[in-house]
Amino acid sequence: MHSERAPLGLKIAAFLGLAFLHLPILLIFVYAFTTEDKTYQWPPPGFTLKWLEVTWNRPDVWEALSLSLQVASISTCIALILGTLAAAAVSRTMFLGKEAITLLVILPIALPGIITGIALRSAFNLADISFSTLTIVLGHATFCIVVVYNNSVARFRRISASMLEASADLGANGFQTFRHILLPNIATALLAGGMLAFALSFDEVIVTTFTAGQQQTLPIWMLEELVRPRQRPVTNVVAMVVVIVTFFPILGAYYLTRGGTDISGSGK
Amino acid sequence: MSNAVEFERVSRHFGETRAVDSVSMQVEEGHFFAMLGPSGSGKTTCLRLISGFERPESGHVKIFGQNSEAVPPNRRPVNTVFQDYALFPHLTVRDNVAYGLMVKGADKSTRHRQADEMLELVKLTGFGSRKPGMLSGGQRQRVALARALVNKPRVLLLDEPLGALDLKLREQMQEELKSIQNQLGITFIYVTHDQGEALSMADRVAVFNEGKIVQEATPREIYERPRTHFVANFVGSSNVLSPTLSVQSGGPSRWMSLRPEAIRLCDPSNSKLKGTLQNIRYLGASNRLSIRFGEEELSVSLPSTEVAPEKGVQVGLTWEEGATHVMDEDH
């Protein structure tokens, strides 16, 4: 017999599970306002807003933040172009080794970041490429492409081939078909994939560690700060910002893909 | 009259499959030309060779006398009504219909005026601002038709356009398609597997089987004088007499076709053939009698007003001279 309502025990277990996942994040928020700056003492002896100001005036935070934004934006752009092209090729055409290509495209996200990192580092060394913003971007692009690819390949499959043929039949050239038919139908998938890619890149640590030179992205900066405590709550303020900056794109991506199910699929 | 479309020994193979195998045909301008055949017989591939989505491996597809091989689909003077309609789900009905004008750079007011005219032609006035998802199957079909006609094509290609509609709607659309074709006077090339549809609408019918045209003629000729066994079986319910049975009935030792409504029952003593009445099916206006001759069976169409004999009795069959028609062997 199934009842409509979940038993109380299950409810408590679910609640505890969620609390275990999310309470630590709240803790970070609380420590951003503590008056104690050497150790994480509980309960906080007092609350202050001064760390917001201190963080605002730290140039190293701004440098790291701007590098992170730069890297995330460029990798997302690369991923949007290459990921979409790969998705189009895999879902719209038949070619030799298609299955193998499909697997190779999604491999970087299945591979542990440390492997990708080491592989890229030795490859860059071998090719005598010095570590720079560019190498970080390349590292991030490997997994960003997968995210965009996965999002758009599903959408491409739902666009009927005859819709694109109908466009050509009515006189549209390749670019017009892309602009007026294909793009409107995959736009939300691209936006969702792009947002996820941005969020992933923005908080990536492992691959970045291996592909960065002297630069620090925001997550790397935070890691350093934890090891070498100096005005500890500043890290918490930054962490809070990171949570907010990555949370909204992911939320957006979730709603876009959810609402996009009825975009294509008329016909038949 | 000149030819709108001409095939010169056109072949298109997919690996081992000979989808279209050395097909030659002419479609006269202004005609309603039906390509009839079972699925996989090559008729849709022929249509795609005309629209340009397939290229011939050998032979030539000529459109208004011009070799079309080098012309991409978007620059051919033909438009297609797709089997699944292929409407653009993100555009309104009006923008769907106006799409062909939009990509040619027509201004907005011209686009809207012409799209609304086309919607009027297909009896969808007032539906312009809806999305395709809000329409019924029959309405989508009309939008697809209007969208293809707005470009004023010289040849309209229709790929099983009524396949997804129910019977009543299909019959209504058949009449409307025919009247639109008369009104606009453009060439229609119509792919279907429904012989009734092909016979009732077309000026010429090409019957396809296994990538080849088996017979190309007027509907009446196809129905009354099927060239082969396959055509007789596929188009309508013509009887096929084996050479043995044909000889028994006093004919030549050849395969013969004989329409069920050309046969009359008569006294067994002066009949052409004698057989056993196996089964009677009531079809409203007529009764369909199956009469058995050993291994073979003929069907006879008898008006309901005539009294049918009992099942199992021996009956005699006769027909007018010239009702039978000698057929070619298949292959």
Say whether domain B3-233 belongs to CATH 3.30.300.30: no
Contacts of residue A91, defined as CB under 8 A and 6 or more positions apart, other chains included, come to: A153, A156, A157
Q: Quick check: is A266 in a domain? A: no
Q: Summarize the confidence of residues B223-230 as an average pLDDT.
A: 88
A169–chain B nearest CA distance, Å: 5
Residue A259: pLDDT over 60: no
Q: Quick check: is A250 in a domain? A: yes
A167 touching chain B per CB within 8 A: yes
Tell me whether residues A185 and B148 touch, CB distance under 8 A: no
A262 touching chain B per CB within 8 A: yes
> Regarding the domain delimited by B240-326, which CATH topology (the fold level of the hierarchy) does it fall under?
OB fold (Dihydrolipoamide Acetyltransferase, E2P) (2.40.50)
CATH number of the structural domain spanning residue A150: 1.10.3720.10
Q: Which residue of A158, A159, A169 to mutate against B (max B Cβ within 10 Å)?
A: A169
Query: What percentage of chain B carries pLDDT values higher than 90?
Result: 59
End-to-end CA distance of chain A: 40
Better pLDDT: B2 or A266: B2
Residue B8: pLDDT over 50: yes
Identify any residues that bridge with A50 across adjacent strands, giving them in sequence order. none
Is the separation of the CB atoms in B203 and B33 below 8 Å? Answer: yes
| Confidence category of residue A261, pLDDT binned at 50, 70, 90 | very low
Any idea what DSSP says for residue A182? Answer: I
Q: Supply the pLDDT for residue B330.
A: 62
Q: Supply the pLDDT for residue A3.
A: 57
Q: Supply the pLDDT for residue A260.
A: 46
Containing H/E element for B257?
A: strand B256-258
Tell me whether residues A165 and B147 touch, CB distance under 8 A: no
| Confidence category of residue A128, pLDDT binned at 50, 70, 90 | confident
Q: Considering only CB atoms, which chain B residues are within 8 Å of A261?
A: none
| Confidence category of residue A2, pLDDT binned at 50, 70, 90 | low
Tell me whether residues B51 and A169 touch, CB distance under 8 A: yes
Q: Supply the pLDDT for residue A28.
A: 84
Q: Supply the pLDDT for residue A266.
A: 31
Q: Summarize the confidence of residues B212-229 as an average pLDDT.
A: 91
Q: Model confidence over B132-175: pLDDT tens digits?
A: 999 998 999 999 999 999 999 999 999 999 988 888 888 899 99
Q: Supply the pLDDT for residue A226.
A: 79
Q: Can you tell me the distance from the alpha carbon of B192 to that of A259, in angstroms, rounded to the nearest whole number?
A: 38
| Confidence category of residue B213, pLDDT binned at 50, 70, 90 | very high
Contacts of residue B172, defined as CB under 8 A and 6 or more positions apart, other chains included, come to: none
| Confidence category of residue A229, pLDDT binned at 50, 70, 90 | low
Q: Supply the pLDDT for residue A236.
A: 86
Count of alpha carbons within 13 angstroms of residue B21, beta-carbon side: 14
Tell me whether residues B86 and A171 touch, CB distance under 8 A: no
* Three-state secondary structure string covering B188-204: EEEEECCHHHHHHHCCE
Q: Can you tell me the distance from the alpha carbon of A216 to that of A24, in angstroms, rounded to the nearest whole number?
A: 25
| Radius of gyration in angstroms for the set of CA atoms belonging to chain A, rounded to a whole number | 23
Q: Which residue of B78, B87, B95 to mutate against A (max A Cβ within 10 Å)?
A: B87
Tell me whether residues A266 and B75 touch, CB distance under 8 A: no
Nearest to A168 among B73, B83, B132 (CB): B73
In total, how many domains does chain A have?
1
Q: Model confidence over B82-139: pLDDT tens digits?
A: 999 999 999 999 999 999 999 999 999 999 999 999 999 999 999 999 999 999 989 9
Starting from the edge strand earliest in sequence, which strands make up the sheet with B263-266, in order?
A: B263-266, B314-319, B273-282, B286-293, B296-303
Nearest to A171 among B82, B103, B164 (CB): B103
Q: Supply the pLDDT for residue B253.
A: 87
Amino acid residing at B268 = P
Q: Considering only CB atoms, which chain A residues are within 8 Å of B87?
A: 163, 166, 266-267
Cβ count within 10 A of residue A30: 14
End-to-end CA distance of chain B: 32
Tell me whether residues B164 and A268 touch, CB distance under 8 A: yes
Nearest to A165 among B53, B90, B164 (CB): B53
Q: Considering only CB atoms, which chain A residues are within 8 Å of B83?
A: 162
A159–chain B nearest CA distance, Å: 10
Q: Quick check: is A104 in a domain? A: yes
Find, in chain A, the residue whose alpha carbon is nearest to that of B152.
Answer: A170
Q: Can you tell me the distance from the alpha carbon of B302 to that of B289, in angstroms, rounded to the nearest whole number?
A: 7
**Where in chain B are the domains?**
3-233, 240-326
Range of A158's domain?
Answer: 62-236+244-257
Q: Can you tell me the distance from the alpha carbon of B42 to that of B123, in angstroms, rounded to the nearest whole number?
A: 33
What sections of chain A are H helices per DSSP?
8-31, 50-56, 59-92, 98-110, 113-126, 133-158, 161-169, 174-177, 183-202, 206-211, 218-227, 233-259
Q: Quick check: is A248 in a domain? A: yes
Q: Considering only CB atoms, which chain B residues are within 8 Å of A267?
A: 84-87
Q: Supply the pLDDT for residue A265.
A: 34
Nearest by Cα to B68 from B152, B8, B19, B28:
B8
Residue A267: pLDDT over 50: no
Q: How far is CA B179 from CA B167, B173, B187, B202, B266, in A?
A: 19, 10, 13, 12, 43
Q: Model confidence over B29-80: pLDDT tens digits?
A: 999 999 999 998 999 999 999 999 999 999 999 999 999 989 999 999 999 9
Find, in chain B, the residue whose alpha carbon is nearest to that of A174.
Answer: B74
**Least trusted range by pLDDT, from A43-52, B4-13, B128-137, B270-279:** A43-52
| Radius of gyration in angstroms for the set of CA atoms belonging to chain B, rounded to a whole number | 24
Q: Which of A36-40, A260-264, B30-34, B242-246 has the highest mean pLDDT?
A: B30-34
Q: Supply the pLDDT for residue A73.
A: 94
Q: Summarize the confidence of residues B304-326 as an average pLDDT.
A: 86
Q: Summarize the confidence of residues A1-13 as an average pLDDT.
A: 79
Residue A245: pLDDT over 80: no
Handedness of CA B18, B21, B27, B31 (dihedral sign): negative
A267–chain B nearest CA distance, Å: 5
Residue A258: pLDDT over 70: no
Tell me whether residues B53 and A166 touch, CB distance under 8 A: no
Q: Supply the pLDDT for residue A112.
A: 87
| Confidence category of residue B311, pLDDT binned at 50, 70, 90 | confident
Q: Can you tell me the distance from the alpha carbon of B194 to that of B170, in angstroms, rounded to the nearest whole number?
A: 11
Q: Supply the pLDDT for residue A254.
A: 79
Tell me whether residues A266 and B151 touch, CB distance under 8 A: no
Find, in chain A, the residue whose alpha carbon is nearest to that of B131.
Answer: A266
Q: Quick check: is A5 in a domain? A: no
Residue A15: pLDDT over 80: yes
Q: Model confidence over A84-114: pLDDT tens digits?
A: 999 988 887 777 888 888 888 888 888 888 9
Q: Summarize the confidence of residues B240-246 as an average pLDDT.
A: 87
Q: Considering only CB atoms, which chain B residues are within 8 Å of A263?
A: 89-90
Better pLDDT: A40 or A116: A116
Q: Is the ipTM of this complex over 0.90?
A: no
Q: Quick check: is A107 in a domain? A: yes
Tell me whether residues A263 and B87 touch, CB distance under 8 A: no
